[in-house]
Chains A and B, each alone.
Chain A
Amino acid sequence: MLRRRLIRHRGVRKKIKSFDLDITSLLDILVILLVFLLKNYSASNVTLNIPENISLPRSDSQEVNTESVVVQVSSERIWVDDKEVLNSNTAKSKIYDDGGRRIISLYNELVEKKNSFKLLEKATGGGQEFSGNVSLVVDKKIEYSYLKKLMYTCASAGFKEYKFVVLGLEE
Chain B
Amino acid sequence: MYRVPSHLQRRNKERTKLNLIPILDSVFIFIFFLLVSSNFINLKEVSSVVPILSDSAPEKNEEPLALTLVIGKETIKLTTGLNSKSVGEFKIDEISELQKALSEIKANHETEKTIIFEPSENVDYEKIITLMDAVKQDSSKNELFGNIIFGNVME
B48 cross-chain contacts in A, Cβ below 8 A: 161-162, 164
Point out the residue from A27, A42, A44, A141 that lies within 8 Å of B27, measured CB to CB. Answer: A27
Given A42-B38, A42-B39, A144 and B123 touching (CB < 8 A)?
yes
Any B CB within 8 A of the CB of A52: no
In the complex the two chains form, is A27's CB within 8 Å of B24's CB? Answer: yes
Q: Mark B26-50, 1 if CB is under 8 A from A, else 0.
A: 0110110011011111111111111
Smallest CB gap from B38: residue in A = A40
Q: Contact size class for B?
A: 35 or more
Chain B residues lying within 8 Å of A58, measured Cβ to Cβ, are: 129
Task: Tell me the minimal C-beta distance from A136 to chain B in angstroms.
Answer: 9
Question: Chain A at the B interface: mostly helix, strand, loop or mixed?
Answer: mixed
Contact bitstring B100-137, A, C-beta under 8 A = 1, else 0: 00000000000000000001111111101110110010
Chain B residue contacts of A169, Cβ below 8 A: 42
Q: With A and B bound together, what is the CA distance between A167 and B129 in angstroms?
A: 11
Contact in complex: A65, B121 (CB < 8 Å): no
Asked if B152 is at the interface of the complex by the 8 Å CB criterion, the answer is yes
Chain A residues numbered 3-61 whose CB sits less than 8 Å from any CB in chain B: 20, 23-24, 26-27, 30-31, 33-34, 37-38, 40-42, 44, 48, 50, 56-61
* A23–B20 CA distance with the chains assembled, in angstroms: 8
Are A163 and B45 in contact (CB-based, < 8 A)?
yes
Residues of B within 8 A of A (CB): 17, 20-21, 23-24, 27-28, 30-31, 34-35, 37-50, 52, 119-126, 128-130, 132-133, 136, 150, 152-154
